[in-house]
Amino acid sequence: MASALDTLCGQAFGAKRYHMLGVYMQRSMVVLFLCALLLLPLYIFATPLLELLGQSKEIAREAGYLSLWLLPLHFSFAILFPLQRFLQCQLKNSVNATFTVLALLVHIFISWLFLGKLQLGLTAAALTLDFSWWMAVAGQFLYVVCGGCPRTWKGFSFEAMAGLWEYLKLSASSGVMLCLEIWYYRVLVLLAGNLKNAEIAVDALSVCMNINSWEMMIPLAFFAGTGVRVANELGAGNGKGAKFATIVSVTTSAAIGLIFWSLIIGFHDKIALIFSSSSVVLEAVDRLSILLAFTVLLNSVQPVISGVAVGSGWQAMAAYVNIGSYYFIGIPIGIFLGWILKLGVLGIWAGMIGGTGIQTLILTILTIRCDWDREVTQSTIFLPKILLCFL
């Protein structure tokens, strides 16, 4: 939901309405904090919910106990993510990176101390996560309020409490768009768990999904950068600049994706050695490697196009495209191929790749056909309209 700031802060920064960035950030914190409160029952009643979903009582009990200790971590995101987007839209990515690296180094040290040396168990593990994330929050927050952003931070303002409904709608669209993408391939693992020889299928898929997740960090970086750059250019009234940023981002990310596609195809029978030495798992991953390669290739383009959607304020439209492509086409085809035609995990994944391909194709066509001058006009109307809601 914090990605709504990519649209609003990005366009406001490009339009030189600098003071509004701080207002938008505070508004995002309010909305995300309220949503975090609404999610509290998932943490408080984690044990009975997990038992209801079929988990063993022992696992459900431990997870429920741990979830309570992770509540500080849960609320840290409501502040951290708006701070990150606020800084990112001003091209202060080095600040984000610095405080994240510092938090990581501290986390490694206290994890080694509490878990490795003192053997304090699960509670200590949760507390180390809480401390590390809040350290990142504190560092970025102090940087902002202590003079690091003089143009965009003018102090706390009651303007943050106005127009919450309008902001909530844009945030919800952003959240739905991204969650539908993130959850899509998680469904693949859940479906595979119901196949025969599910343990091998899930093991192999876990290896593939980890490799995909590692590589996915690269296009996700392009997603963030593209969203900010497109929003900046539209806010500044430069439609050609937004179009150029889109072309450069998509081309560069696709080229990197093609390199990883080649590596996976070339080392198809060896890539699983990073995670396992089991011959059964190695063979299963080898059979899935071609699907992994094309998933990586598609995912090198799809997130970047989604970044264009975020920067342009198309989140609601992208959410509809994601629902249709992923959940009305990809998953049903995967179930048909996997169970009806008995192709197993290969069929499920192939069907879901089809859904990703359709989603990427639709968003690509929409982006190619986009009238960027019209988008500039809409952004100049959109920002004042949003601003009026806050007065």
- And the tokens for 230? 């497109």
- And the tokens for 61? 């009990």
> Cβ contacts of residue 50 below 8 Å, gap of 6+?
59, 60, 63, 64
Residue 351: count other Cβ atoms within 10 Å of its Cβ: 23
pLDDT in the model for residue 309: 87
Q: What is the pLDDT of residues 48-92, one digit of tens each?
A: 988 887 777 887 888 899 999 999 999 999 999 999 999 988 888
Quote the crossing angle between the two packed helices 71-88 and 4-14, to the nearest 10°.
30
Give the mean pLDDT of 173-178: 82
Q: What is the pLDDT of residues 134-153, one digit of tens each?
A: 999 999 999 999 988 999 99
Percent residues over pLDDT 70 in the chain: 95
Q: What is the pLDDT of residues 84-113, one digit of tens each?
A: 999 988 888 889 899 999 999 999 998 888
pLDDT in the model for residue 379: 63
- And the tokens for 301? 């383009």
Burial 352-369 (b: 16+ CB within 10 A, else e): bbbbbbbbbbbbbebbee
Give the mean pLDDT of 161-170: 83
pLDDT in the model for residue 68: 93
Question: Can you tell me the distance from the alpha carbon of 171 to that of 177, in angstroms, rounded to the nearest whole number?
Answer: 10
pLDDT in the model for residue 255: 94
Question: Can you tell me the distance from the alpha carbon of 348 to that of 188, in angstroms, rounded to the nearest whole number?
Answer: 7
pLDDT in the model for residue 261: 94
Residue 100: count other Cβ atoms within 10 Å of its Cβ: 16
- And the tokens for 302? 């799809």
Q: Which residue has the tokens 């504190």?
A: 138
How many residues are listed for the chain in this entry?
391
- And the tokens for 319? 């959410």
> How far, in Å, are 96, 101, 174, 301 from residue 91 at the CA level?
10, 18, 21, 23
Among candidates 72, 75, 5, which has minimal Cα distance to 35? Answer: 75
Give the mean pLDDT of 296-310: 89
Burial 208-219 (b: 16+ CB within 10 A, else e): bbebbeebbebb
Give the ranges where the chain is alpha helix by DSSP (H).
4-14, 19-38, 40-44, 46-52, 57-69, 71-88, 93-111, 122-143, 164-192, 198-235, 239-266, 279-299, 302-312, 315-322, 331-335, 344-368, 372-389
Per-residue pLDDT band at 120 (split at 50, 70, 90): confident
pLDDT in the model for residue 307: 87
- And the tokens for 261? 């596609």
What is the gyration radius of the CA atoms in the chain, in angstroms?
22
Write out 210-238 in H/E/C secondary structure. Answer: HHHHHHHHHHHHHHHHHHHHHHHHHHCCC
Burial class (CB in 10 A: 0-12, 13-18, 19+), 318: buried
Q: What is the DSSP string of 249-283?
A: HHHHHHHHHHHHHHHHHHTTTTGGGGT---HHHHH
- And the tokens for 70? 């992770």
Q: What is the pLDDT of residues 186-211, one digit of tens each?
A: 777 777 766 666 677 777 888 888 88
DSSP assigned state of 195 = S
> Cβ contacts of residue 21 below 8 Å, gap of 6+?
9, 12, 13, 86, 89, 90, 149, 152, 153
Among candidates 324, 316, 355, which has minimal Cα distance to 177? Answer: 316
Higher per-residue confidence, 67 vs 163: 67
**Tally of CA atoms within 13 A in the half-sphere of 171 that contains its CB:** 25
Give the mean pLDDT of 119-138: 88
